Chain A
Amino acid sequence: MAHHRLTVQQFLILAFVSVSVPLGDTALSHGMTSLPAISLAHPLTLIAAVFTPWIALGILLLIGYFASYLTALSWADLTYVMPATALGNVFVALLAHFWLHETISPMRWMGVALITIGVGFVAHGPVSTTPPLNLPTTIDEVEDPSLGDALEGDAIEKEQVR
């Protein structure tokens, strides 16, 4: 039951998986560096840090990452989602170069190129190569006729989304 095509919604979820980690980490880093130094003698200041806007934004982005990562794993292979996650590193390098004007060494550009090619390789293939375990593969397998209708309805709905 290999399926090849991503719906628009699925593509957006994978895109969010890639960009949310670099954005979230950047927000956390920005938030923490703009705070006065926190010493281990006052650990409660760390709790207060959670409620500052940048840290809160970073945490929200990372929660969003985990939710979309789990959703992606429910319809895509782990070996398909993994490269998408790695693409985040490429975004960090590009942002650092074009926005923060940091110098990127040739070795790092090589890393950017390899990850991009690797992601291209996987994205070209099937999204999932394993059958969904809990869903009946044909309508005939469904014993409850009303459930069968529901599944058919779902299939029609999915077609319309595409």
Chain B
Amino acid sequence: MMQASNLIQPTFWQATAMIATIVLTSSTGEVLTAAAMKSMGDLDVIRARSGMKGAIRAVVTSPLFVAGIFFMAVAFFSLLFALNHMNLSLVGPAAASLTLVTNTIAAKFFLKENVDRRRWTAAGLVCVGVYLLAH
């Protein structure tokens, strides 16, 4: 690429900081969204009671959901920023697989999910799997 030669290659720590920003912001966004949906109760039941409009209103008026979307947007723009400096083949798999691990940790401590040995193993396997598949 013509542009790539003009760019200064990021140092190891700069690259780590960029990937860490994507991972932390997208994890925060996903956990906030999950917390919003959990606190709402079964959305299928809400839809059965108050229709599609009622279900959509319940989701978009939730402050946790709005906060989650905000962090997801920040994550998206930090991904764009990182892609401007690094290759997709590094950023994509690294961010996707590390987010799985941070999501699992956050789900245990913030969402109080029962992350037993089965789920830890699964998170580890899927994390390595996503990395291998996308690399």
Chain A residues near B (Cβ < 8 Å):
2, 9-10, 70-71, 73-75, 77-79, 81-83, 86, 89-90, 93, 107-108, 110-119, 121-122, 124-126, 129-130, 132-135, 154
Contact between A133 and B114, CB atoms less than 8 A apart:
no
Q: Cα distance A64–B107 when bound, in Å?
A: 24
Closest B residue to A86 using CB positions: B126
Pairwise interchain contact B126-A115, C-beta atoms closer than 8 A: yes
Say whether B119 faces chain A, with CB atoms less than 8 Å apart.
yes
Seed contacts A74-B40, A110-B132; 10 additional CB < 8 Å A-B pairs: A74-B38, A78-B30, A78-B31, A79-B122, A83-B123, A93-B133, A108-B133, A111-B129, A111-B133, A133-B41
Q: Contacts of B125 on A, CB cut-off 8 Å?
A: 114-115, 117-118, 121
**Cα A152 to Cα B114 with chains together (Å):** 28
CB distance from B118 to the nearest CB of A (A): 5
Main SS of the interface on chain A? Answer: helix
Other-chain residue from B40, B116, B119, B129 in contact with A113 (beta carbon distance below 8 A): B129
Does B44 contact A9, Cβ atoms closer than 8 Å? yes
Contact in complex: A130, B38 (CB < 8 Å): yes
Q: Is B100 an interface residue (CB 8 A)?
A: yes
Per-residue CB contact flags for chain B residues 105-128 toward chain A (1 = under 8 Å, else 0) read: 001100111111011011111101
A68 to B113, CA, bound (A): 20
Number of B residues near A (Cβ < 8 Å) is 42
CA separation between A74 and B55, bound complex, in Å? 11
User: 1/0 contact trace for B70-100 toward A, CB 8 Å?
Assistant: 0000000000000000000000000000001
CB distance from A89 to the nearest CB of B (A): 5
Q: Which residues does B use to contact A, with CB under 8 Å?
A: 30-31, 33-34, 37-46, 59, 100, 103-104, 107-108, 111-116, 118-119, 121-126, 128-135
* A89 nearest CB neighbor, chain B only: B133
CB distance from B86 to the nearest CB of A (A): 20
Residue in chain B with minimal CB distance to A81: B34
Name the A residues within 8 Å of B122 (CB-CB).
79, 83, 118-119, 121-122
Q: Are A114 and B118 in touch, CB under 8 angstroms?
A: no
Chain B residue at minimal CB-CB distance from A120: B122
Q: Determine whether the beta carbon of A74 is less than 8 Å from that of B129.
A: no
**Residue among B37, B112, B123 with the highest chain A CB neighbour number at 10 A:** B37
Asked whether, in the complex, the Cβ of B38 is within 8 Å of the Cβ of A118, the reply is no
Given that A115-B125, A122-B119, A130-B112 are contacting pairs, would A70 and B43 also be in contact in the complex, using a CB cutoff of 8 Å?
A: yes
Checking B44, B108, B121 against A121 with a beta-carbon cut-off of 8 angstroms, the contacting residue is B121
B41 cross-chain contacts in A, Cβ below 8 A: 74, 132-135
Set of chain B residues within 8 Å of A135, measured between Cβ atoms: 41-42
A73–B128 CA distance with the chains assembled, in angstroms: 24
